[in-house]
């Protein structure tokens, strides 16, 4: 799902963004794909990345809106045609990737060695019925179910009815009530990290930012970028669980 280094560099330069720009990401309704977009820019080293929790609230309070058509996203009149964006080095990106992303091969090895549940807490952001295998996946021919050892946490459970994030206190209580996990413990009870996943790697980041940005947890959170779409296509059938 993540764009390769050179693809990201080419497209961010085409947008004529500046490394010093403050980037604000938002969805038109509630929280959905904006966390994924914001996280991608952060992963590639953009320092000033913000997520607007609820755009309808912004409009409701009559804050400024620009409704004029845009020919370019350039934020400076000084930006020329040969714009250069100082992207972090490939080595820096590789470090960020290793810290925040987990690949299929590493995840499969953890499942096969029965180390996933021992060393990680894995949350799946898809609906409960897709997780258990009761409902089909949106992609035809793709098996539903879940990775052995994963926990079901549909992304809408960390959101309010209006689609904005629940409060820090509400989220802490949610993890305590539903999973008996104290997310305020930076050691995560001796676990190495949290892994988040979903169908295609988009709504997984809603969970990541609920933990990282709303609660402010101190433990690592890694995104399984290929998520269930990759797992269901590549993993041996023995590692596609069908019950809750």
CA separation for the pair 156, 116 (Å, rounded): 25
Task: Return the beta strands (E) in 26-119 as ranges.
Answer: 49-51, 101-102
| Distance (Å, whole) CA 190 – CA 192 | 7
Query: Contact at 8 Å (CB) between 22 and 52?
Result: no
- Cα(first)–Cα(last) distance of the chain, in Å? 27
Cross-sheet strand order for the sheet of 120-124 = 101-102, 221-224, 193-197, 120-124, 151-152
Which active-site residues does the annotation give? 198
Q: Rounded distance, CA 162 to CA 30, Å?
A: 6
- Helix (H), strand (E) at residue 91: helix 90-100
- What distances in angstroms separate CA 157 from CA 7, 119, 163, 166, 203, one per listed residue? 34, 24, 10, 9, 12
């Amino acid at each position: 799902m993540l764009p390769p280094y050179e693809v990201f560099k080419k497209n961010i330069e085409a947008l004529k963004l500046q490394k010093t720009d403050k980037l604000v990401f938002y969805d038109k309704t509630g929280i959905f794909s904006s966390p994924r977009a914001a996280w991608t820019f952060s992963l590639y080293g953009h320092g000033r990345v913000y997520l607007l929790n609820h755009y309808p609230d912004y409009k409701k309070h009559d804050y400024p809106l620009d409704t004029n058509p845009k020919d370019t996203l350039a934020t400076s009149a000084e930006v020329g045609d040969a714009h250069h964006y100082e992207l972090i080095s490939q080595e820096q990106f590789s470090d960020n990737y290793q810290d925040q992303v987990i690949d299929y091969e590493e995840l499969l090895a953890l499942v096969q060695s029965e180390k996933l549940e021992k060393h990680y807490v894995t949350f799946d952001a898809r609906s409960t019925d897709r997780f258990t295998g009761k409902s089909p996946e949106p992609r035809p021919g793709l098996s539903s179910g879940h990775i052995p050892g994963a926990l079901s946490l549909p992304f809408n459970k960390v959101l309010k009815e209006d689609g904005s994030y629940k409060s820090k206190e509400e989220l802490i209580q949610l993890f305590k009530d539903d999973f008996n996990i104290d997310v305020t413990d930076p050691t995560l009870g001796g676990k190495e990290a949290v892994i988040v996943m979903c169908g295609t790697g988009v709504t997984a980041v809603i969970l990541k930012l609920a933990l990282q940005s709303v609660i402010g947890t101190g433990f690592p959170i890694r995104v399984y970028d290929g998520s269930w779409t990759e797992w269901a296509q590549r993993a041996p059938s023995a590692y596609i669980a069908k019950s809750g």
